[in-house]
Amino acid sequence: MIRWLLLALGGAVLGGIVHLATIIILPRTATQDAYSRLARNAPVDRVTPVPAPTPQAAPMPFMDPAFAVAVCRYDLSQGPLKLSVPVSLAYTSVSFYTRYDVAYYAINDRAAGRRVIELELMTTDQHNQMPEDEDITAADRLIVESPTLTGLIAIRALASEPGLMPMARSTLAAAKCTRQEPPTD
């Protein structure tokens, strides 16, 4: 009897380890996570509009139907990325996600304070390699450091009433994400 109890206890402890391991591994093995769902239709380094959710079909669950959404999937291994998003009438935001859907940075039109949100995305290494004087002369450049080489940028524009949706969509159509060529020196 004692023997079986001990075995059950040992099994439970092992079960705890299994639990923690599965929780930690799950985001890395999920095939239906947001990044994988969007990656199918989103080429790298290009702004791609995401279809609006309907009751019949939605690119991902829990999308806000009041927003027009576009994504730019990035790969920084070839160099930094430049992003420019014109600001729409109501509310525009840009959110940055890692390959595993962790949101690490977001900015909205008011925080950017201009008519166009302009950002540069690079890894910490690429940021460190930047010539220092360039960093100073362009003090108003907004530089975001990505913790991972690949990831996703979600650009959202609010249509505060359904009639404004075409306008929000056209704002996003003018957004650009382009790879910067590495400096030749």
Partner 1 sequence: MRLLLGSLFALAVAAIVGLGSTYFALSRGAAFGPLTIGSWTAWPKSGTVDADPYVQASIARIGRLPTALGDGLAFTATSDDRGRPLDGRCEAVLSGVTPAARFWTLTLYNRDGELVANSVNRFGFTSQEIVRHADGSFEIVVAPRANAGNWLPTGGIERYVLVLRLYDTPVGVSTKAGREVPMPSVNVRGCP
Task: Name which of 36, 139, 49, 147 is nearest 102 in CA terms.
Answer: 147
Of 72, 83, 107, 157, the one binding partner 1 (CB under 8 A) is 107
What's 148's DSSP letter? S
Can residue 96 be called a binding residue for partner 1 (CB under 8 A)? yes
Strand 143-146 versus strand 116-123 pairing type: parallel
Can residue 14 be called a binding residue for partner 1 (CB under 8 A)? yes
Residue 10 backbone dihedrals phi, psi, to 5 degrees:
-60, -40
Can residue 5 be called a binding residue for partner 1 (CB under 8 A)? no
Interatomic CA distance for residues 150 and 38, integer angstroms: 13
Of 39, 90, 130, 167, the one binding partner 1 (CB under 8 A) is 90
The residues of the shown chain that bind partner 1, judged by CB under 8 A, are: 3-4, 7-8, 10-19, 21-24, 26-27, 30, 32-34, 36-37, 53-56, 58, 60-67, 90-91, 93, 95-97, 100-108, 110-111, 147, 152, 154, 156, 158, 160-161
